[in-house]
Structure 1
Amino acid sequence: MKKFLIIAGLIVSSCSEASTPDPIPNPDVTTQDPGPVGEVNYFGQLKVTDGKLTNSEGTAVMLRGVSFGWHNWWPRFYNTSAVKWLKNDWNANVVRAAMGVDPADAYLENPEFAIEKIKAVVDAAIAENMYVIIDWHSHDLYPAQAKDFFIEMAKTYGDKPHVIYELFNEPDYETWEEVKVYSEEIISEIRKHDPDNLILVGSPTWSQDIHLVAQNPILDQENIMYVLHFYAATHKDYLRERAEKAYQAGLPLFVTECAGMEATGDGPIDTSSWNTWLSWMESRKISWAAWSIADKNETCSMLFPAASSEGNWTGSQIKPWGEVVKKALKKNLD
């Protein structure tokens, strides 16, 4: 599921780290029982104001939710009922539709099926007044194909404030200069049809090199944020310190993929590290989506194979990581 790289003895995957000049809230906060569950918040048109995600009045807001697994491997969950369940039972106000690009039977081989699955999730989220991330889920550059795809998405959904575009899930070995040029070209095409919806830009080394972005951000564009990914058992203080520096410099951050285990997507859940990351995001109002709604035999897949395709998941059908994420979502409503 995840790619990873070993550099100077460190396993590197999809995020970055940051220093914490402000005190981190109690990292055990998410181990408490969830508080009262209320209506999931919908904030209308989102915008980026002074490095923060805000509503149209400029008040800082926060999205919290989950990412579906790759559409080409877990298409059974890409449906209206699953989206409704994630809102009504898990209290997610954002879902991420992770459209696989280059594996077998993914977008490059079967674009009609890919678009069908993505639209099913997007249409359901709009109907439920949730936000939805349209994720170009790739590790490599396909600029021509990405441009065509995002033009179609912007033409279809450019008038829907629920929609968020994620241009490049996890660049791996590309330089920031390459990713920046690619992103600027795609942004230009999207803005011809959608002048104001949120756009998310990835960074090298599986969306961890946020420090490179902070040194040379995209200029003259509104309502863009930069993607940060982390896997808490692998990515600890060094990546959070890196992200914190970028945040303090005013770089708008959005964690579109995160989880509590190793960067491989497997291994034990590091509860302490996950809670520290969660507290950091909550204290800075950095939005997040946890990985993933899938039933693969790995720690980061939230469901067992016996789980229904359409929600209504019982406790026995939800894996431990799914329970951790569900608890965090039910507790942390604005």
Structure 2
Amino acid sequence: MAVLYLTLLGGCGGMEESFPPEEPSVTGETEAATPTVERVEAPLASPVAANGKLQVVGNQIRNQNGVAVQLKGMSLFWSQWGGAFYNASVVNSLADNWKVTVVRAAMGVENGGYLTNPAAEKARVKTVVDAAIAKGLYVIIDWHDHNATAHTAQAKAFFTEMAQRYKNTPNVIFEIFNEPDNETWTQVRAYAVEIIGAIRATGAPNLVVVGTPTWSQDVDVAASNPITQYPNVAYTLHFYAGTHKQGLRDKAATALSKGIALFVTEFGTCGSSGNGNLNLAETQLWIDFMNSRKLSWANWALNDKAETASALVTGSSTTGNWPDSALTPSGAFIKQKLLQ
């Protein structure tokens, strides 16, 4: 069991992990009357004050003025294991000290996550989202699952509730399927159309990001048959620089040339296991690629697990304001890129 636990806690990009089956509990029912958060004025000079509602135009994500925008930030770790970092102090520190423009709340679904403890996981997500709104940051609500097509009903209920709550809030981005692993694009596309339909049915116009096959790497496949039923949809590209190199950049370039917008909602500076093989030179090549195409990104992960992908050393404060001594080599590199 210890070996399994450590495997599941690894990075997310391209791992061929085999999750044990889990009986979906009777969860995810929307509340009888989900309150809608009224739009609040973003703080002056904040990312949301400057850019407002995000919109996909062609192969770009643009701001309210039609100008291409590139968000840069951090992804939190799986919420059921990294939940100590799901607090306002962490969000504030990332905004003030790291100058992030986006934070990703990676809500774990299986393995003790949302399917087991829906109220606790939703509470963690709402804490991060509400803190991001208060700081004027963009925030990704991520259904952090490799088997989402097996949990369509729960995902639909969850995103219906979140969309009803945050439909007036331009800060919020919905990431509806983290990393499809063995699903075909036909399967993922059908799932995405159903979930996006539920989101749009609430009146929520928010940007939606759709996972792509093979741990969100086959963006070129998605680009050959994109979702056309609904507007404001981008597609997920994930990479781990120690594993995924020019070949994946070529796939991304192909997808962009076919006219879809990409969002790198997760990437690591190391191998796809989340550990070993720190490759900052290849990470810089990826950052140059993303900058040249204005691809938004979130680095995996703001967490203190003892692995290469973590931004913080083990035992770091869970309330932010980290000194340089608390940063791992990966964390120090990414913070530098955020401050540039």
Gaps of 5+ in 2: 1-9, 18-44
Residue in 1 that maps onto 2:27: none
Counterpart of 2:144 in structure 1 is 137
TM-score by length of 2: 0.86
Q: Is the 8 A contact 1:85 1:312 kept in 2?
A: yes
Aligned length: 301
Q: CA separation in 1, counterparts of 2:310 and 2:111?
A: 19
**Is the CA contact (8 Å cut-off) linking 2:224 and 2:258 kept in structure 1?**
no
> Counterpart in 2 of 1:41?
47
> Partner of 1:301 in structure 2?
310
Question: Residue 68 of structure 1 aligns to which amino acid in structure 2?
Answer: L
- Whether the aligned pair in 1 keeps the contact of 2:46 and 2:136 (CA below 8 Å) is no
Aligned counterparts of 2:234 and 2:47: Cα–Cα separation in 1: 20
Change (3 A) 1:312 1:235: same
User: In the alignment, what sits opposite 2:32?
Assistant: none
SS in 2 for 1:219: coil
User: Which digits, 9 at most, give the CA deviation of each residue in 1:246-284, with x for residues without a partner?
Assistant: 112211000000111000011132111100000000010
Q: Distance in 2 between matches of 1:146 and 1:51?
A: 27
Measure the CA separation in 2 of the matches of 1:163 and 1:285: 19
Distance apart, 1:286 and its partner CA: 0.5
Deviations 1:1-54 (A, max 9, x none): 23676xxxxx889xxxxxxxxxxxxxxxxxxxxxxxxx6533111111122111
Matched-pair identity in %: 45
Aligned residue number for residue 89 of structure 1? 97
Equivalent runs, 1:98-137 vs 2, <5 Å: 98-104=106-112, 106-137=113-144
SS in 1 for 2:319: coil
AA aligned opposite 2:152: P
Structure 2 counterparts to residues 308-319 of structure 1, below 5 A: 308-319=317-328
Mapping of 1:1-334 within 5 angstroms? 1-2=10-11, 41-42=47-48, 43-104=51-112, 106-141=113-148, 142-331=151-340
Seen in structure 2, the aligned counterparts of structure 1 residues 272 and 12 have a Cα distance that, compared at 3 Å, is: farther
C-alpha separation between the residues in 1 aligned to 2:212 and 2:258? 17
- Higher-helix-fraction structure: 2
Task: Name the amino acid aligned to 1:124.
Answer: A
Distance 2:214 2:315 in 1: 35
C-alpha distance 218-251 of structure 1, shift in aligned 2 (>3 A): same
| SS of structure 1 residue aligned to 2:81 | coil
CA shift at 1:69, angstroms?
Answer: 0.2
C-alpha displacement at 1:315, in angstroms? 1.0
Report the counterpart of residue 29 of structure 1 in structure 2.
none
Alpha-carbon distance in structure 1 between the residues aligned to 2:177 and 2:158: 12
Contact 1:232/1:277 (CA < 8 Å) preserved in 2? yes
Moved over 2 A (4+): 2-5, 39-42
RMSD of Structure 2 on Structure 1 (CA): 1.6
User: 2: CA distance between counterparts of 1:126 and 1:41?
Assistant: 10
Distance, in Å, in 2 between the alignment partners of 1:86 and 1:143 is: 33
Residue pair 2:166, 2:204 contacting (<8 A) in 1 also: no
